[in-house]
Amino acid sequence: MEEERFIGGWTRSKLAARTAQERYAIWKRARTLKTADGNQLAREIERLGLPYAEPGLLAEDDPLREAMANIMATKEARSACVEATLDGLPAVAGADAAFHEALGVSYRHNDVAIATAHAMVAELMGELGYIEAGNKDLPNRYVARAGVFWKRK
């Protein structure tokens, strides 16, 4: 008997053969579809009991991380993060646009780079005297799908 197939042609055995990071990416994409088929695939990944983990951060010596750090060091990127917060968006929205413009596909198609962007923005906002005030979804025009909303201490 043939295995049950989920959206995208995924089967339990194909999911089991993937790494935890690959399963996380599949789970994340399925959840963002916000459809019955996407939700079914995400639930199946959860139900399998196999590990699926959020991506880690880029290594300190990674050239992409260095490029991102250089962008975050600019006055424009720092101001964009604060401005995004004042506009009611997660601060990562400010950096996201700068990273996407400067790094293109290297940023856009890299979950680890996006996680690193969140960490860099969190460090910046903490230094500027902001505290976490919850999570918010970002509009579709951003690469990051959600982020932390910040408020002044």
User: How confident is residue 21, by pLDDT bands cut at 50, 70 and 90?
Assistant: confident
Cβ 120 vs Cβ 71: under 8 Å: no
Mean of the pLDDT values across residues 17-30?
85
pLDDT above 90: percentage of residues in the chain: 65
What CA–CA distance (Å, rounded) separates 58 from 14? 27
What's the pLDDT tens digit per position in 79-106?
Answer: 999 999 999 999 999 999 999 999 999 9
- The pLDDT of residue 1: 65
> Distance of CA 77 to CAs 47, 51, 93, 142, Å?
41, 35, 10, 15
The one-letter amino acid at 11: T
Please tell me which residue, 57 or 20, carries the higher pLDDT value.
Answer: 57
Q: Say what angle helices 20-33 and 111-127 make with each other, to 10 degrees.
A: 80
Model-wide pTM > 0.85: no
What's the pLDDT tens digit per position in 29-68?
Answer: 898 888 999 999 989 988 888 777 777 899 999 999 999 9
Mean of the pLDDT values across residues 7-16?
91
Nearest 5°: the CA angle 95, 145, 140 is 95
Cβ 45 vs Cβ 51: under 8 Å: no
Report whether pLDDT(132) > 90.
Answer: yes
Mean of the pLDDT values across residues 4-11?
91
| Average predicted confidence (pLDDT) for the chain | 91
What CA–CA distance (Å, rounded) separates 52 from 31? 14
